[in-house]
Amino acid sequence: MNYDLIIRNGFVIFPDEVQKVDLVVKDGVIVKIDKNVIGSSDRVIDAEDKYIFPGMIDSHVHFNEPGREIWEGFLTGSNMMAAGGITTFFDMPLNGIPSTIDRSALLQKANIGQKKSLVDFELWGGLVPGNVDQLKELADAGVVGFKAFLSETGNREFERVDDMTLLEGMKEIASLGKILALHAESGPITNVLTKWKKEQGCLSADDYIETRPIVAEVEAVERAITYAKLTGCSLHFVHISSEEAILKIEEAKHDGVDVTVETCPHYLLFTHDDLVRKGPVAKCAPPLRKKPEQEKLIQQLLDGKIDMVTSDHSPCPYGMKDPMTHNLFQAWGGISGGQFTLMAMVEMAKKYEIPLTKIAKWTSLHPATRFGLTTKGKIAVGMDADLAIVSLNDSYEVTEHNFFAKHKQSLYLGHTFPCKIKATLLRGKVVYENGHINGQDRSGKWLRLGSLPSLRESEIASFDVQLKAF
């Protein structure tokens, strides 16, 4: 039989074991898994001494298009994903203009993504004050779920929710059978502590971490869980940074709440000392924690209490993270590093002797299961041939040259990973190989719908007005 692709001699990461077998691909799908497969193929990849992971699913990135493509767009963002072994990403709703808080904004973004993205994608919708009545149209049009902030967002187009909006939104989201993703930091706590620090002229890294204490994360988590018990809403907590918050979420799971939690590689690899040393490039919210708290968070990961690891890639133009600023509070609060999550987790695997099967679950199987991607998330016959071929014998030092994001400033610059992404395949097509993007054919798909609904004339007019306002 003639196949499209055979990958030979690789160590394949299955959900519960690693085997040295051949993978056979036809029409973008894995059709055979066996040793020493016999058959002809249009292409053969020799993966000797390499490890083949299911393509990573990063359910938390900010690509900011339309409106802020200068920060990051689908073109450069998806190139970066491919270079990191990521074959599916979920774009967050807040930093585009307009934000993804109604049907027209969603479809505008989806149209752009389908033209520019190198890999597959999903889109989050937003929950903000005043748009609860828009949630059903967003759900019907194809959002994977909804995102809300319990603290300030940094963008005036996307306001944090008040308690009334949160309760009403959670009730509506529950009725729609969707998931609410939450940035869980208490707005009142962080706002008051920030106000006090600014009044005193205290603007250092140490001052910044004191305005976003662990108690702010824990209070927001507890409040959201209480509302979830009342409304029946499914929850997903993003970028959790502390042991105490993880334990509250674990307790809620035992109480029957439908809830999952993610953390990010920057909380696992870096600490508050990096913010002190490197300045704005290491600023994020929640902040990087001090070493003892980081060690507790890592133990929660090792104990299986964290469901998935995502990048929270949050880029901005260089001037918004000016390393010469003396006021850390003015800098943009986000880490640029979406390319490095899979390599970061392999680094964790080597350091803590974590089975590679667990890495594949945190980065692929669990997000696929949680968000309903039935043809992705694991290597098996009948699944999409979304794959990352990784060498554990090579290293990868991050430089401006090999970082594919639009803006090259990153906390990860100069960091050396003890592994290297050799190739990334989307449905059997090589989109990245040996440091090069194969991007002539932008073949990424919006996974939620087979085809895009047409925009209404009123929606197009409304979008044009909002965009011209900026």
Over range 124-135, report the average pLDDT: 97
What would the mean pLDDT of 114-118 be, rounded to a whole number? 95
Split at pLDDT 50, 70, 90, the class of 34 is very high
- Look up residue 33 and give its two tokens: 């898994």
Confidence of residue 440 (pLDDT cuts 50, 70, 90): confident
Q: What would the pLDDT profile of 49-78 be if each residue is shown by its tens digit?
A: 999 999 999 999 999 999 999 999 999 999
Which residues in the chain are classed under CATH 2.30.40.10? 2-48
Q: Is the pLDDT of residue 467 over 80?
A: no
Q: How confident is the model at residue 309 (pLDDT cuts 50, 70, 90)?
A: very high
Range 2-48 has CATH code 2.170.120.12: no
**What's residue 38's pLDDT?**
85
pLDDT band, residue 470 (cuts 50/70/90): very low
- Percent of the chain's residues with pLDDT above 90: 90
Structure tokens at 18: 């690693």
Are 147 and 94 a contacting pair, CB within 8 Å? yes
pLDDT-derived band of residue 346, with 50, 70 and 90 as boundaries? Answer: very high
Whether pLDDT at 452 is above 90 = no
Residue range 265-292, pLDDT digits in tens: 999 999 999 999 999 999 999 999 999 9
pLDDT in tens, 227-274: 999 999 999 999 999 999 999 999 999 999 999 999 999 999 999 999
What would the mean pLDDT of 68-89 be, rounded to a whole number?
97
Query: Is residue 331 over pLDDT 90?
Result: yes
pTM tops 0.75: yes
Q: What CATH number has the domain spanning 56-374+396-407?
A: 3.20.20.140
What integer pLDDT is reported at residue 326 of this predicted model? 74
Contact 138, 179 (CB under 8 A): no
Position 195 pLDDT exceeds 90: yes
